[in-house]
Amino acid sequence: MKIWTEIASILVAIGKPVYWMVFRLPRKKINLKPLLKSIYFLGITLSTFKFPTLPKLPKFNLVVMGLGILALGFGIYVYVFRGLPSPTTLTTKPVPLTTHIRDRNGVTLYKLYKNENRTMVSLSEMPLFLRQATIAIEDKEFYQHSGFSITGTLRAFWRNTTGKPVEGGSTITQQLVKTALLSPERTLQRKIRELVLAIAVELLYSKDQILEMYLNRVSYGGESYGVEEASQSYFNKAARDLTLSEAALLAGLPASPTTYSPFGARPELAKSRQKEVLRRMSEDKFITWEQAQKASEETLVFATPRIDIKAPHFVMYVKELLALKYGSEAVEQGGLDITTSLDLDLQEKVQQIVFKETAKVAYLRIGNGAALVTNPTTGEILAMVGSRDYFDVGRDGNVNVTRAFRQPGSSIKPINYALALMHNFTPGTLIEDAPITYRTPGQPNYSPVNYDGKWHGKVPLRTALGSSYNIPAVKILAANGVDNMIALAQEMGITTWNDPTRFGLSLTLGGGEVTMLDMATAYGVFANSGSRVNLHPILAIQDSNGKILEKLSEYPATKVMDSKIAYLISDILSDNNARSPAFGYRSDLFIPGHQVAVKTGTTNNLRDNWTIGYSPDRLVAVWVGNNDNSSMSYVASGVTGASPIWRKIMDELLKGKSPSVFAPPEGLIKISICTITGELACEGCPSRTEFFIPGTQPGRACSPDAIKKYLEDRDKILNGAKIGE
């Protein structure tokens, strides 16, 4: 025990000279005299102590020890203190850098913080509950710690490593230092400097001064810096006039203004964040639980966003992706220059089409529409229209439907049929379209019906998919297996089917929610010969010095399907004859002179109506419906809802281009088959040519006598007679 006492004495003895060397010497001009003085001072200090337990050291060794400590101090100075800004600069205004988001041709879509709108207000002018809300959600121990919180750091580490919602461990003081004095880079050195400066700030300023500086400097999203401008931007009022409900919403923004903004891509997250702030305030005894509940139920009236922005849904989507990768501070203050994949000219045309066409069908109780245009070979997003009007806040226009969870209806069927083709089904395989009931113990009986309420007898797979008959699709899924369809869909890009136990045979009719982004990725597999290319909205990013942080020069593709399978699906979806029994020969889905694959989808409850189609190098997905999930009119279908929008967008894309064609891959066999039996064509049978994967083609011809009898029976039925008469 005695030796530890003596070691402690040594540490005390060298503490003063080490402090002088580390904290004082670096602040002066370094020359030989103070260096020698520090070494001599340290040696003399140590030589005055007597340590019977420790071996005696000659004075030469003490000098060496002094040199070692000096070297350590100098190293600490270089790593931590050299170039460290003075905490006193908190009284000066920092100069933020503007971040530009541009389209693929360099046209500016949005400037992040071109002007840093800030109006300084004193702490006394801020409502008490605004200060309390900020402390409750950001740093509950603010008035107790000395710049950093050990318990807060440990708590954040525990929550983040145990899979609970991610939580930061930085105190308000550290956040102030990080925002005002340091760069947003995420390194150990920066974190150490942040800690040192936080302690220094606590020594120089009072807690109220620190809180006041924080509330006047922190970003609340957009161009709003400080609580005063945030209050004006979001509620069109001074900070001193904020209600508890409004203050709680603002207090929740600084953690991630992009994510929690009520004007952002996910406005519902702003409300959930506000409730979390109120809950924390109640836990910390700033307010009662009754006050928290009342405030959370208050309807907030937001000011109309005053922002100069083009393609707002797309910009907010890109901004969120950047914030997740680089952090909000780097995006909002780092002066980044982002070149996106968007084509603004096309974007504005698509936006105009969606707006006009949804207005035409408003009588069908259709209140909203969305569209997405991509290049399936590269995954580039060329246009993203998340609603008919982003600024129509009263109708949730700022909600980006291309990212929302919606049921796809029959537009999901091609994945099911692709799986069938992988298991020896062919486009000529006959499927019985007749009534059927599936019985599962413990669940209601399931009897699928067709959209037209009719049965169509034995139909080729090509016609069943092209005309979107429901009963054959359910039978196909029963043969494929629900789990197998989910697995293929996930490989193709569907990310929302994470709980297979939720789904049954209705999955092939659209019983599982998807996003339009996922559907565009999945359909891109068919257009891209079986390879999945994930969507890429960003082409290049440069920092404020012109250094390229990332540049998309390659488009990674993952093979998830044989190119022959992908071609067969595209061939069926572009076959106007196959879809004509349901849609007619002259529907909006047929584009003369071009081979375009397309599929519609309408949910049984008429809440979602889709059209998704593609040429080899362009894909268009369209949705119409209502944000509040109310049903459209019964006459809304794949032809009267989304299809006219899809057709006008596709016409715009194909204008002036050579005829688009899906080239058959090598290895397919083309054979003439009987459309009645699915066998090789024989005399007297109606026939068509069909593609087959080698080994799946029919091996025998149909019987002329059987064909003759079938045609006679059909004529009798058409004339109203019964078979056998």
Domain presence at residue 389:
yes
Q: Which of 150-154, 419-423, 697-701 is the most confident on average? A: 419-423
Which of 415, 429, 368 minimizes the C-alpha distance to 394? 368
| 206 & 269 share domain | yes
Query: For residues 236 and 247, what is the distance between their CA atoms, to the nearest angstrom?
Result: 13
| 258 & 181 share domain | yes
What does the mean pLDDT of the chain come to? 84
Q: Are 652 and 594 in contact (CB under 8 A)?
A: no
Which residues, at least 6 apart from 410, have a Cβ–Cβ distance to it below 8 Å? 451, 468, 470, 473, 509, 510, 599, 600, 601, 602, 638
Domain presence at residue 139:
yes
Instruction: Check residue 164 and give its pLDDT.
Output: 47
| 627 & 714 share domain | no
| 395 & 457 share domain | yes
- % of the chain exceeding 70 in pLDDT: 79
Which of 571, 314, 603, 363 minimizes the C-alpha distance to 465? 571
Q: Are 623 and 369 in contact (CB under 8 A)?
A: yes
Instruction: Check residue 333 and give its pLDDT.
Output: 74
Instruction: Check residue 340 and give its pLDDT.
Output: 97
Which of 63, 89, 117 minimizes the C-alpha distance to 228? 117
pLDDT at residue 181 is higher than 80: no
Q: What is the DSSP letter of 591?
A: -
Q: Which of 68-82, 548-562, 626-640 is the most confident on average? A: 548-562
| 394 & 257 share domain | no
Token readout for 249 is: 């919403």
Instruction: Check residue 519 and give its pLDDT.
Output: 98
Domain presence at residue 94:
no
Instruction: Check residue 121 and give its pLDDT.
Output: 82
pLDDT at residue 165 is higher than 50: no
Query: Helix axis angle, 413-422 relative to 516-527, nearest 10°?
Result: 40
Distances (CA, A) of 56 to 45, 48, 60, 70, 135: 15, 12, 12, 21, 54
Lowest mean pLDDT among 35-39, 114-118, 706-710: 35-39
Q: Which of 31-35, 313-317, 394-398 is the most confident on average? A: 313-317
Domain presence at residue 328:
no
Question: Across residues 374-400, what is the average pLDDT?
Answer: 93
| 289 & 413 share domain | no
| 633 & 683 share domain | no
Token readout for 191 is: 């974190």
Instruction: Check residue 61 and give its pLDDT.
Output: 55
Q: Are 68 and 35 in contact (CB under 8 A)?
A: no
Backbone angles phi, psi at 541, to 5 degrees: -135, 130
Instruction: Check residue 113 and give its pLDDT.
Output: 61
Domain presence at residue 353:
no
128-142 confidence digits (pLDDT tens): 999 999 999 998 888
Detail the DSSP E strand segments found in 1-130: 99-102, 108-112
Task: Please give the torsion angle defined by the CA atoms of residues 619, 648, 348 and 637, in that order, rounded to the nearest 10 degrees.
Answer: -80
pLDDT at residue 305 is higher than 60: yes
pLDDT at residue 199 is higher than 60: yes
- Of 281, 297, 313, which residue sits at a domain end? 313
Residue 25: pLDDT band with limits 50, 70, 90: very low
pTM of the model as a whole: 0.68
Q: Which domain holds residue 600?
A: 374-654
Please tell me the number of Cα atoms within 13 Å of 451 on its side-chain side: 26
Q: Are 615 and 602 in contact (CB under 8 A)?
A: no
| 631 & 603 share domain | yes
Query: For residues 22 and 24, what is the distance between their CA atoms, to the nearest angstrom?
Result: 6
Instruction: Check residue 30 and give its pLDDT.
Output: 44
pLDDT at residue 313 is higher than 80: yes
Query: Helix axis angle, 516-527 relative to 563-573, nearest 10°?
Result: 110
- Of 81, 104, 138, which residue sits at a domain end? 81
- Tally of structural domains, the chain: 4
CATH code of the domain covering residue 214: 1.10.3810.10
Identify any residues that bridge with 172 across adjacent strands, giving them in sequence order.
Answer: none
Question: Across residues 332-358, what is the average pLDDT?
Answer: 93
Domain presence at residue 34:
yes
Q: Which of 94-108, 136-150, 174-188 is the most confident on average? A: 136-150
| 650 & 673 share domain | no
| 116 & 56 share domain | no
Q: Look at the block and give the residue holding tokens 């998309």.
A: 552
- Of 298, 313, 328, which residue sits at a domain end? 313
CATH code of the domain covering residue 642: 3.40.710.10
Which residues, at least 6 apart from 376, have a Cβ–Cβ distance to it below 8 Å? 520, 523, 524, 527, 528, 533, 614, 616, 617, 618, 619
pLDDT at residue 27 is higher than 50: no
Q: Which of 54-58, 171-175, 571-575 is the most confident on average? A: 571-575
pLDDT at residue 566 is higher than 60: yes
Question: Across residues 546-570, what is the average pLDDT?
Answer: 93
Instruction: Check residue 21 and give its pLDDT.
Output: 47
Domain presence at residue 543:
yes
Domain presence at residue 368:
no
| 627 & 699 share domain | no
Question: Across residues 115-134, what is the average pLDDT?
Answer: 83
623-636 confidence digits (pLDDT tens): 999 988 899 987 66
pLDDT at residue 469 is higher than 80: yes
| 283 & 389 share domain | no
Instruction: Report the chain's terminal Cα–Cα distance, integer Å.
Output: 114
Instruction: Check residue 283 and give its pLDDT.
Output: 94
pLDDT at residue 222 is higher than 80: no
Query: For residues 432 and 455, what is the distance between their CA atoms, to the nearest angstrom?
Result: 9
